[in-house]
Each structure stands twice: as C-alpha cells, then as structure tokens.
Amino acid sequence: MTKQNNSDEERIILEDIESRLSSFGKDRWNLIPILQMIQTRHHYLPADAIRMVANYLDIAACEVYGVATFYNQFRFNPPGKHPIQVCLGTACHVSGGDIILENFERKLGIREGETTEDREFSLERVACVGCCALAPVAVVDKIVHGRMAPSKVEGLLLGFQIEKEKQERAKRSDESNL
Ligand code: FES
C-alpha cells in the first residue's frame, strides 16, 4: 500500500471520527468511550485522532495518550493484513517466547506494537492464549502455531512471501491478457 493510499485512508478515518464526536458530551469522562468507539471502528488510534479528541474534550493530547497507553486494548498503529501475536505468558516466556518475538522483530524490521510499512504484518505481544502445552506459541492470522523456533519464524514469513509473489505474478499475467 502506498503512502498516498495510507493518507487517503487516514483522512477518511478522521472524517468518520469527526462526524461521530458530537454524539458524545464534552465531559472528560467520555474520553474512554470515545477511544473505544475509535478502536472498535478503525482498529487503532491514529495520532491525529488523539489530537482531535483532545481538542474536542479540551484536554491535553498527552493526557489522552496517557490514558490510551494505560489500557492495553488500544493500538496506535493500523493492523497489518497478517496480524502476528507472540505469547509472552509465563509458560511461553520460560520456553523462549521472547526469542521468538525478537526473531519476528528482526525479520520484519519492526518492533512489537508496530506495523510494517507495506501494512502486510503487525506484531504484538499477548498474554497466555490458552495453549501452554505448546509453548512457545505465536498466533498468526488467528492460527495458533506451537513449539515455535527461529526456523519456524523464518518458514512462516517465507510462506507469506511466496504466496504474495504468486499473487503478484497472477495479477501481472491477468493484466497482460487484457
Ligand atoms: S503462556 Fe503462552 S499459551 Fe499459555
């Protein structure tokens, strides 16, 4: 996805938020319901949306940001097409979950909580996903992958890359047949 597409998309998101703000009172206790509305509708809180909410409630943007970071239900980056969650619950942590997270970070060139520039992948750490016997665990596209190892990280990402290249080749051949 290009930067232009990203900014067009963000403009549409901001217009949507602006049109809905007036249904909330301007009291500061509406801050969390407003943030929840944005998170539910758009799956993250864009930086400009945080400023917009701060203006609307007449409070400092850093206060909005402070409240949003306190609750881990809020994200600050758009979700990737393929969301990756690495479990760092106790069983996964002691089985090397942090090494798995670090491997994803290194291979994708992003930190936990971020999204790749092409919006293909987002990466986050999560608490126990309930499959401790399979530790360390990663959830990719909502599919649980147990007994993760650095080679499995590489294999998973390679699989996505091969699939993407296949789709691009098919698209190019469709275009050339027009
Ligand atoms: S701690 Fe990771 S699945 Fe339970």
pTM for the complete prediction?
0.79
Q: What is the pLDDT of residue 30?
A: 96
CA of 156 to the centre of ligand 1 (A): 20
* Whether residue 92 has its Cβ less than 6 Å from ligand 1: yes
* Whether residue 54 has its Cβ less than 6 Å from ligand 1: no
How many percent of the chain have pLDDT more than 70?
Answer: 96
* Whether residue 137 has its Cβ less than 6 Å from ligand 1: yes
Task: Tell me the residue type at 135.
Answer: A
* Whether residue 144 has its Cβ less than 6 Å from ligand 1: no
Domain boundaries, the chain: 3-70, 82-176
Q: What is the pLDDT of residue 4?
A: 55
Say yes or no: domain 3-70 is CATH 1.10.3470: no
Residue 87 CA to residue 21 CA, distance in Å, equals 35
CB contact set of 170 (below 8 Å; sequence gap of 6+): none
Q: What is the pLDDT of residue 106?
A: 97
Ranges of the chain with pLDDT below 70: 1-6, 178
Residue 111 CA to residue 51 CA, distance in Å, equals 24
* Whether residue 101 has its Cβ less than 6 Å from ligand 1: no
Superfamily (CATH H level) for 82-176: Glutaredoxin (3.40.30.10)
Give the DSSP letter string of 67-118. Answer: HHHHSTT--SSPPPSEEEEEE-SHHHHHTTHHHHHHHHHHHHT--TT-B-TT
- Per-residue pLDDT tens for 49-97? 999 999 999 999 999 999 999 988 899 988 899 999 999 999 999 999 9
